[in-house]
A and B are shown apart, each in its own frame.
Chain A
Amino acid sequence: MALLSVQSISVSIGKLNPLDGITFTIDKGEILGLVGESGSGKSLTAMCVMGLLPRIGGAITKGSIVFDGCELIGLPEIEFRRLRGKRIALISQNPMTSLDPIILIGAQIDQVSKLHLGLSAEAAKARSLDLIAQLRIPEPAAIHRAYPHQLSGGMKQRIVIAMALAADPDLIVADEPTTALDVTIQAQIIQIMVELVRDRGLALMLITHDMGVVAQACDRVVVLYSGRVAEMNAIGEIFAEPKHPYTRELIRCIPRLGQEPGSLKGIPGTVPSIIDYPDGCRFNPRCGDARELCRAQVPALERKSSGLAACHFSEV
């Protein structure tokens, strides 16, 4: 059984319905990529899993989220708190806001294992130092005594990852963990994070807009478009044989080494606004293969030759 199973959840915030029928699963030890552009609903999906939706005034109107046999929808906040940080950890995009600026870094990491694992002060400190070292931060003891502002952005994000690992979670949700960082730092952090997750057999839900990062790190991929799942498949198939036109076009948007000049085209049109979604398939105004049916009817997320895709005309 999957560690996390999200079954056709829909979300409403006020009058808006930003998510419509999001479905995916993550197994133990698996890295799942959640890919999409702005407005695709990828961060919102993370908030659903973390049970943080009520904080922004949203609610799940339909579907179910089962984590390790336990239904998360309708779970009282008090019980959610026991899961959050302990069994499901979050790494957010901005390391600046994930760390408390007036508390020593060491104390912030120690706190996690003290709270969730019930460790003594010494044991927690030893564990934190070990984690800092595993994230390949030089001089762990000095960092343990430092304040967040004394560290660079990349170092801070490593500390955030250490905090996420501190309670020995089963699932880590990483929301664009490297987007705010420089490319060389980003590559290193992705590498370290993936290694640590694999070594420990953790499940990782990696949210990103970067197909390069997905190709480098993930086992399976869910592609989101305007609040719906466009396609879900194993990493190899997604890139070799995309079933949804959006996936195909999105991959083509990234220039490859040696690509002919003039051959990079992008996807015509713009990402639709949530207040003005088109009828039928939400990708239809930008899709080269769109036909009458695509404008009239919402395509169901169906099993294809491999994986799932929501397209009327993908025959493969």
Chain B
Amino acid sequence: MNALDASGDNLVQITDLTREFSSGGGFLKPRRTMRAVNNVSLDVPRGKVTGVVGESGCGKSTLARLVLRLLEATKGTVTFDGKDLSTQSQAEMRRLRRRMQMVFQDPYSAIDPRYTIRRALLEPFQVQGEAKSASEAKATVDELISMVGLSPRMMASFPHQLSGGQKQRVGIARALALRPSFLVLDEPTASLDVSIQAQIIDLLESLKEELGLTYLFISHDLSLVRYFCDRVVVMYLGRLVEILPGAGARPRHHYAHALLDSNFEPDPTRRKVVTMLGGEIPSPFAKIPGCAFAARCPAANDLCMRERPPLTDLGNGHMIACHNPMD
């Protein structure tokens, strides 16, 4: 590690980030709060792919939106390239957004149905107040469209005339229009066919090399995350339970292990016997004093029910929040 500037090797630093949502509180309904993201601290190293994996309701999408300040945090800070996002003015935030962009899960609704592809790709410059002459606009759109492997003939098309994969390519081109250095990828392939999913991952890989991008990759697919990411962060019910330093690292948290165990290999000679997890995923509104996974964990004891395990370093950047880690 060489000594860089204040922000060091980490483009994004997340510290004690918490976001609460409340529901109810209306007529005759008690107000309830849930912590979608609960005290999360995480560094996103420059030029690397950090993967966040977890099942529905684990808070990974909320985390993505907090990192880009599309949602305001209840507590904690996000620092982007040394700047604390929560203290930025609206104008400063608008400038910063040029450098941090997002690719969304649902390419079907990520583009305004009334916009042509050309107009959608020029909109980033429009909202940033960057006027372009007709010839500049054409050159920009041509470049963006070919960068993501689409044909310039599609410029005049409307989103509904494109396939899911093509729409997602437009989504990526739009995110790249302002030349960001950081991309949050929120399940960018989850709604695509398998053969198209691999294409998009391939595209994201080569764009990262070409443009020197840093990715935060959100997914529920552990095999994809292990293939694509340099570091894997496992979330459960709003909390970080394990950070795997590399794709090859063996998970030692019981939940991370169960997640890996649930992932069937495309190889009939390696069938597995899935360990049945007992219990149900607790309600997100439940106040859990101990480990969030304790109710389903085969190794849970009294301590796990009572006391929340801290995230501790096992060495090599392998972090785990578990009182009784697996061997």
Contact = CB atoms under 8 A, between A and B. Distances in A.
B165 A262 contact: no
A316 to B, nearest CB: 18
Interface stretch (B14-22, B36-44, B91-99, B271-279): B271-279
Interface stretch (A6-14, A50-58, A79-87, A266-274): A266-274
Interface stretch (B73-81, B131-139, B198-206, B311-319): B198-206
A136 B276 contact: yes
A297 interface: no
B55 interface: yes
Nearest to A36: B193
A270 B194 contact: no
B273 A184 contact: no
B279 to A, nearest CB: 8
B52 to A, nearest CB: 15
Contacts of B199: 265-268
Contact of A187 (B56, B262, B280): B262
A227 to B, nearest CB: 15
A257 B274 contact: no
Interface in B223-253: 223-224, 226-228, 247-248
A203 B152 CA distance: 50
Interface stretch (A16-24, A89-97, A247-255, A304-312): A247-255
Contact of B277 (A184, A249, A265): A184
Contacts of A264: 198, 201-202, 205, 227
Contact of A211 (B193, B220, B266, B269): B266
Interface string B50-85: 000001100000000000000000000000000000
Interface residues of B, number: 48
Given A264-B198, A270-B165, A152 B281 contact: yes
Given A184-B55, A184-B262, A215 B194 contact: no
Interface in A163-194: 182-184, 186-188, 190-191
Contacts of B277: 184, 188
Contacts, number: 142
A249 B224 CA distance: 17
A37 B193 contact: yes
A209 interface: yes
Please indicate which of the listed interface residues A187, A250, A262, A286 has the most CB atoms of chain B within 10 Å of its own CB: A187
B196 interface: yes
A266 B266 contact: no
B262 A186 contact: yes
A187 B56 CA distance: 15
A236 B197 contact: no
A255 B193 contact: no
B268 A255 contact: no
Contacts of B267: 215, 239, 256
B301 interface: no
Please indicate which of the listed interface residues B227, B228, B278 has the most CB atoms of chain A within 10 Å of its own CB: B227
Please indicate which of the listed interface residues B195, B258, B273, B278 has the most CB atoms of chain A within 10 Å of its own CB: B195
A183 B55 contact: yes
Nearest to B225: A255
A211 to B, nearest CB: 4
A218 B266 CA distance: 12
Interface in A222-281: 235-236, 239, 249-259, 261-262, 264-268, 270-271, 273
Contacts of A215: 264-268, 270-271
A182 B262 CA distance: 10
A270 B196 contact: yes
Contact of A38 (B56, B193, B280): B193
Contact of B268 (A236, A258, A265): A236
A235 to B, nearest CB: 5
Nearest to B258: A184
Given A184-B259, A270-B163, A239 B220 contact: no
A313 to B, nearest CB: 20
B194 A253 contact: yes
B166 interface: yes
A41 to B, nearest CB: 14
B120 interface: no
Given A188-B277, A215-B268, A250 B195 contact: yes
A262 B258 CA distance: 27
A266 B266 CA distance: 15
B196 A266 contact: yes
B222 interface: yes
Given A188-B276, A215-B265, A215-B267, A255 B223 contact: yes
A271 B264 contact: no
Contacts of A286: 195
B173 to A, nearest CB: 17
Contact of B56 (A182, A249, A250, A256): A182
Contacts of A213: 264
B261 interface: yes
A86 to B, nearest CB: 30
Contact of B205 (A186, A191, A262): A262
13 contacts: A136-B276, A182-B55, A183-B221, A183-B263, A190-B264, A191-B273, A212-B263, A239-B266, A253-B198, A255-B227, A256-B227, A266-B196, A271-B163
Interface of A: 37-38, 136, 138, 152, 155, 182-184, 186-188, 190-191, 209-216, 218, 235-236, 239, 249-259, 261-262, 264-268, 270-271, 273, 286
Given A211-B266, A212-B263, A256-B227, 10 more contacts: A37-B193, A37-B195, A136-B276, A183-B55, A183-B259, A188-B277, A191-B276, A254-B194, A254-B266, A270-B163
